[in-house]
Amino acid sequence: MDFVIKWTQSQGQDFLQDSRGWPKGKRRKWTKDTEDRLKEIFHDIQNDPSRFYCGATAIEQEWRMRNPKISPPPLRTIGQLLSDLGLSGKREKGRNKGAARYLCYPEYTLYHLLGGRVAEADFIGMKYIFGRTEPLNFSGFSFKKEPKLRYFQRISGQTAQELKKACSSFFKKFEKPDFLKVDNCLATIGSASGRRNISQVMYFLLKNQIIPIFAVPRKPFSQASIEGNNSVFSRKFWNRIQFQSVEEVDEKLKWFNASSQEYMGYKPPQKAKEPKKNFVPRVYFIRQVHEKKETRKAFIDVLNEKVFLPLSYVNYFVLAEWNLREEKLSVYFEKEQKQKLIKTLTFQINPKSKEKYPNL
User: Is a pLDDT exceeding 60 seen at residue 97?
Assistant: no
Give the pLDDT band (50/70/90) at residue 15: low
Q: pLDDT tens, 241-271?
A: 999 999 999 999 999 999 999 999 999 998 8
Centre a 10 Å sphere on the Cβ of residue 139 and count the other Cβ atoms it contains: 22
- How far is it, in rounded angstroms, from Cα 360 to Cα 13? 91
Question: Are the beta carbons of 324 and 360 closer than 8 angstroms?
Answer: yes
Mean pLDDT over residues 279-306, rounded?
Answer: 93
Residue 189's nearest CA partner among 163, 207, 155 is 163
User: Is a pLDDT exceeding 70 seen at residue 223?
Assistant: no
Report the CATH number of the 93-360 domain. Answer: 3.30.420.10
Residue 111's nearest CA partner among 184, 179, 202 is 179
User: Is a pLDDT exceeding 60 seen at residue 14?
Assistant: yes
DSSP 280: -
Give the pLDDT band (50/70/90) at residue 345: very high
Q: In what order do the strands lie in the sheet with 297-302?
A: 290-292, 297-302, 305-309
Q: What is the pTM of this model?
A: 0.81
The phi and psi torsions of 206 (rounded to 5 degrees) equal: -65, -35
DSSP 178: S
- pLDDT at position 102 is 77
Helix axis angle, 56-66 relative to 32-46, nearest 10°? 100
Highest mean pLDDT of the ranges 48-57, 154-163, 269-278 = 154-163
DSSP 3-state percent helix, strand, coil across the chain (nearest 5): 35, 20, 45
Residue 255's H or E segment, with its range, is: helix 246-264
- How far is it, in rounded angstroms, from Cα 5 to Cα 69? 53
| DSSP per-residue codes, 121-158 | EEEEEEE--TT--S-EEEEEEEE-SSSPEEEEEEESSS
- pLDDT at position 99 is 60
- pLDDT at position 254 is 96
Give the pLDDT band (50/70/90) at residue 6: confident
Q: How many Cα atoms are found within 13 Å in the side-chain-facing hemisphere of 179?
A: 22
User: Is a pLDDT exceeding 80 seen at residue 70?
Assistant: yes
Least confident piece of the model among 22-26, 101-105, 301-305: 22-26
Question: Are the beta carbons of 342 and 309 closer than 8 angstroms?
Answer: yes
Give the pLDDT band (50/70/90) at residue 27: confident
- How far is it, in rounded angstroms, from Cα 286 to Cα 331? 10
Q: Under 8 Å CB-to-CB from 265, ≥6 apart: which residues?
A: 147
Degrees, nearest 5: CA angle 107-108-110: 65
Q: Under 8 Å CB-to-CB from 308, ≥6 apart: which residues?
A: 297, 298, 299
Give the pLDDT band (50/70/90) at residue 19: low
- pLDDT at position 188 is 95
- How far is it, in rounded angstroms, from Cα 285 to Cα 239? 34
